Amino acid sequence: MKGKMKFYLLLGFFQLVLILIVFFSVNGIIFVAAQTESFDYYNSPTAAILAISAAISLSASVIGSAMALKTVGTAAISSLSEREESFFKSFLVVALCEALAVYGLIVAILLWTKIPTPT
């Protein structure tokens, strides 16, 4: 098996494991909340799931942005070496790739602000 195929297979397996962890944790939240009389929301799995979700949203968007920037950046540099008039188009495409990471950061911050903290 080639290295690239092995990487994608491991990445898919890791995503499947994360989905299963989140799915069973959500059922655990409902199950624990229904059976206990005093439910500590600050130490509940909800806070952990929100933290993991923020980390996943940030890391996935940064990885996706890096993969897109690798491809687009190479094409933009080769385009600029052939024609200097294509600067704006290549700059725009590279900026859109970097915006993906910013969108992931915004989602991660929104999830992070929902994590309960005792005050």
Could you tell me the two tokens for 78?
Answer: 């080769």
The span from the CA of 56 to the CA of 19, in Å, is 11
Provide the residue ranges of all domains of the chain, joining segments of one domain with +: 55-113
Buried b (16+ CB within 10 A) or exposed e, 90-106: beebbeebeebbeebee
pTM of structure? 0.60
pLDDT in tens, the chain (119 residues): 688 888 888 888 887 887 777 666 655 555 555 555 555 666 677 778 888 888 888 889 999 999 988 888 888 888 888 888 888 888 888 888 888 889 989 998 988 888 877 66
Contacts of 118 (CB under 8 A, 6+ apart): 42
Which tens digit of pLDDT belongs to each residue from 47-56? 788 888 888 8
